[in-house]
Structures are given as structure tokens and as C-alpha cells.
Structure 1
Amino acid sequence: MTAFSMLHLSDTHLSDRFDHFRRNNELMLDVLQKSDHDLIIHTGDITLDGIRHEKDFQFCQSFYGDLSREIHYIPGNHDVGDNPRLGRPQSENGSAISQERMERYLAYYGTDRWTIDRASWRMVGINSLLVGTGLPREQEQEEWVRNVLENVGDRHLALFTHQPFFVDEPDPIELSYWTVDPEGRESLRFLMEHPNLKVIASGHLHQQRARRFGSVELIWCPSVAFTTREQLVPEMGGQRQVGYLEHVFHDDGSVATQVRTHPDFQNSHLDDCIGVVYPFA
């Protein structure tokens, strides 16, 4: 049975403005340099606060840019902004996504979506923060996804997104910080219900969890940077431990996932420093 491997990291929250979370990222960099995985994917929140501080992008690009291996990135809310129904606008120094913030991300990373064909699989990475925004790029992304699926043939599909599409099930529809905008998500139901879809892998929640919904594996990647206590992020059944994931994709559509960490990772909690690193929270 043909198989290929992937190293999946997420939520690095890296900046040179603070030392917080730097050590874990340095250790992760060493892991990446020694990696023999076929693919490396980062599911967003690359920067600590790139929506407000462009120098975070400059630092992150330099920090991970010297690797000999390619990393396939998609943005997180700290890279392009939050759902506009949940955050104040950029003009008020709020966290809401904007065209300007999107263009800044694209200037550094080139694209916020991609597709990779490997063996019997098609990997699809999308910008989940666009969903429900009404920005022109949201419609462009939907059309792009439709085109990607038109010729998928018999390939299995694995979807990578910063936010989970949903926690346990897609209904009831209720807007929350923790998932893709449920109203906007309806325009992507054709993707969510595609018969070839086997995996939805995400970050954002700083917890590791793996469950099934029908025939789809719902896999949450932990953060490299930090975890949280329940007072900050509610209990959702995940493990609150920093780390990363290794996936092995098989020709029969199955995926074997292993949770990895580094013996020297610090399992710090955002609760203890949020007022310093995120004064606008």
C-alpha cells in the first residue's frame, strides 16, 4: 500500500517583539530541519499579531524561511483578522479581517490557498477567515474550490483550514469564535459533503483532538506556542498540550495520525501573559 507522510504544525504565534513562545519555535525549527516527511503544512496563526504589526511577518518569514524544506501555509486570524461580526474594524484597531490585512499577508506568503496532489490524495488548503466576510476574495475562493473539485476524480480529499468547520456536527448553526462562520460555510457545503472528503484538519483551538463525523476524520492540531485553561477556551474534549502532528496518508483513504511534542517544549498558558502579548484582547 502506497503511503506518504506529512508534518503538520499550527499556531506558532511568533514575533520578535516578545520572547514569549520563542523557545518552542526554536525547538520546532530544529524538528523541521531534521524532518524527512514528504510534506510540511502550517495551518495558520503564523504570527503573534501580524494584523497590527507588519514586523511580525518580517520576523516569521526570516525565522522559518531559511529551511531547505518548503512549508505550505494558510493564514489564521492573527495573520489576516477575525470574522467581522466578532471583531471591531481595523479603523478602530480592532481584529476584524480587512482587504488591507489580506493584501499584507499575500505580500509575504503569496497565496492563502493551495492544492497538492500526492499519490491517491488531493490536499486542499483554504483561507477559513474569508468565509462569511463578503470580501471579493471569498467569492474567488469559492469558485476556486469548485474548480479544484471538478477534476478530483477518484482521489481522496483532505481539507486544511485554520478553524474547524464545526466542533462536533454542522448543526445547529450558531456563530462563535471557535469555528468557521456557519452562515458563510453554507456556500461551501458542497465541499463539506463531497463524497471523496476523508479529512478536515485544522488548528486555532490550541487543543489536540481527533473524532469522526460520518466518514470524515476531524483532526485538530495543537499549537507549537501555547495552550489555554478552560476559563479562556471552553472544554471541547481536546488535549491541552503543545505539540504538532504527523500524518500518514494511505491509498485506501485512511489516515494514521500521531501526536508529537518535544521533550523541551514549555507547555505555557496564554492566560498567564495575554495582557502583555495581546493588550487589545
Structure 2
Amino acid sequence: MTTILQISDTHLSPRTPLFRRNLALLGTWAATARPDLIVVTGDLSLDGADRDADLEFAAGLLRALPAPLLVLPGNHDVGSDPRTMPTQPVDAARLARFRRLAGADMWAQDLPGWRLVGLNTEIMGTDLAEEAAQAGFIADVAAGIGDRRLVVFLHTPAFTSAPDDPAFDYWSVAPEARAALRPLLHHPGLRLVGSGHLHLHHQFARGAVRYAWAPPVSFLCEPETQPGLPGERLPGALLHRLGVDAAETALVSPAGIEHHWLAAVRPETYPRRDEDASA
């Protein structure tokens, strides 16, 4: 059985010690549990979209974790759709910074009986050249799955209520961009979709597919900032166990992990922002 530790939303920076203790506790847990792989589903950094030092620092701490590492960008690493992040729109320069300092922003890796695919959700719905390139990448990796089972990792969830929800908001992939995900999300071998961004721990199933929202390593969002979103507000990570034909997911929340609320840490994290949605 293959085990994958999914960590998300670490929001690390050399400018503040916040959240480093939680990451260290998860690192200690991983050193004992020895997962086969660690996947970080975005928002490695506090403000890597504008600060090289934040992204470089975050990537360095994560590379020190005791297992092979794969990472994906989040909105705070590369920016995002200008409709939700008008002051930090994702662009070629921000994407190049991430690739230089942290690693590839999309990838596929084969494990015994499984194919893992990681995608960059922050370019989806933007009409950037990179979005079209990723659509081609998706088609190629879907075509080559064969009889393997499939896991897809994202930063932003493809949807939060239903796949055909037409609403556009900060919390999910733009509805008009979801069609590009169909070769993977409709693939008969799909068994698990792991995402971050919401700072919530929640799992649900649609047929044979389990959808898992990873809790944050960093801070929790007050309920009033996420009306209608289900889930538990607690820090931690997820451990995925890949069997022959199914994936099992469990919460990892070591003793002593710190609960930080966004309102309390905002002066030290995002003091220039006063909008509700800043996870």
C-alpha cells in the first residue's frame, strides 16, 4: 500500500515565525509514519506572488520534510484570476518565479497501480497561454493512464457544491474553466481528488471518487467568511492510503498543533487586506 501525506496552505515566510511549529509537528509525525510521498497542495508561502524570499524560504522548509516532495502553486504563490486577486493577477513572471524557486507547477507521477496528477488551478479561467498548455497536458496524461487508478491534486477545488454549479467565487475553479478537467475528473479510474485553499477539513464521495479538502497547516478562517461551506475548522494534514482499487483518507492533527484564527493573525500576515476572502 502506498501512503501520501497531503499538506496544504502552510503560508510560510521568513518575516514571521507563525505556522512553523505546526509544520515542524507534522514533520516529526512524518518521520515516524514514513509516508512514501508528501504532496503540498499550494499556498506554500505567505506572499510568494510578490516576494521571492517568501517562496524560497517556504520551499526550503518543505524540502526538509522526511519524504520525497511534490508541490503545487496556490494563489498566494503565483497570484490568481484577476477577478478574485486584482492586485496579484497570475502571469508569466509569477509562474516562472514559482518554477525557479519551488518546482514544476503541474506534474504527473506513476506509482505501482496508480497515476498521480497535480495541476495548477490558478491559471484556470485566465486565457493565459499556460492555461492552454495545461489543457494539452491534461489530455495527454489522461490518455496514458491505462488500467491504473488515478489521483488528482489541486490547490483550489474544482467545485464546492456541485460540478455544474454556475456560480463564480473565490473558493472554486471558475465554472467556464472546469471543462478542461473533464478528461481526469470523468475518468473511470479516478478514485481521489485532494485539494486545499479552503482551510477546511471535509470529505465526501461521488460514486467511486473521494473528494478530500485538506485542512491548513497555518490559519483557520472564521465561519462568517465562508458562508455555506461545510467542514471542520482545525489545522493538520491528510494521509491517503492507496490500495488496489480505492483510496482511504485520514486526518493527521498531532498533539500540540496550534489553532490560529485569521482575524488574530491578520496584522502579522495580510495587514494590507481587509476583504473577507484572503485564505
Shorter-chain TM-score tier: over 0.9
Unaligned 5+ segments in structure 1 are 89-93
Structure 2: distance between partners of 1:67 and 1:256: 22
Deviations, residues 225-281 of structure 1 (Å, cap 9, x unaligned): 1111112223422010001111111112x1111101111111111122224311232
1:133 maps to a residue whose letter is T
Unaligned 5+ segments in structure 2 are 274-279
Q: Indicate conservation of the 8 Å contact 2:35/2:67, yes or no.
A: no
Per the alignment, residue 172 of structure 2 pairs with 179
Deviations, residues 170-198 of structure 1 (Å, cap 9, x unaligned): 12211110011111112322322122212
The answer to whether 1:156 aligns with 2:149 is yes
Equivalent of 1:53, from 51, 55, 74? Answer: 51
After superposition, the CA RMSD in angstroms is: 1.5
Structure 1, 186-195 or 78-87: larger mean CA deviation:
186-195
The answer to whether 1:263 aligns with 2:255 is yes
TM-score scaled to structure 2, two decimals?
0.93
The answer to whether 1:123 aligns with 2:101 is no
Shift of 1:35: 4.1
Q: Indicate conservation of the 8 Å contact 1:14/1:25, yes or no.
A: no
The answer to whether 1:214 aligns with 2:201 is no
Shift of 1:102: 0.8
Structure 1, 223-232 or 72-81: larger mean CA deviation:
223-232
Per the alignment, residue 75 of structure 2 pairs with 77
Per the alignment, residue 101 of structure 1 pairs with 94
Deviations, residues 203-230 of structure 1 (Å, cap 9, x unaligned): 1101111101233211111011111111
Per the alignment, residue 22 of structure 2 pairs with 24
Shift of 1:116: 1.4
Structure 1: distance between partners of 2:11 and 2:108: 24
Aligned residues: 273
Per the alignment, residue 271 of structure 2 pairs with 279
The within-5 A match list for 1:122-141 is 122-141=115-134
Task: Tell me the SS of whatever aligns to 1:231.
Answer: helix
Structure 2: distance between partners of 1:161 and 1:239: 19
Structure 2: distance between partners of 1:6 and 1:52: 30
Deviations, residues 1-50 of structure 1 (Å, cap 9, x unaligned): xx211111111110111122222123233334444111111111000111
Give % identity: 35
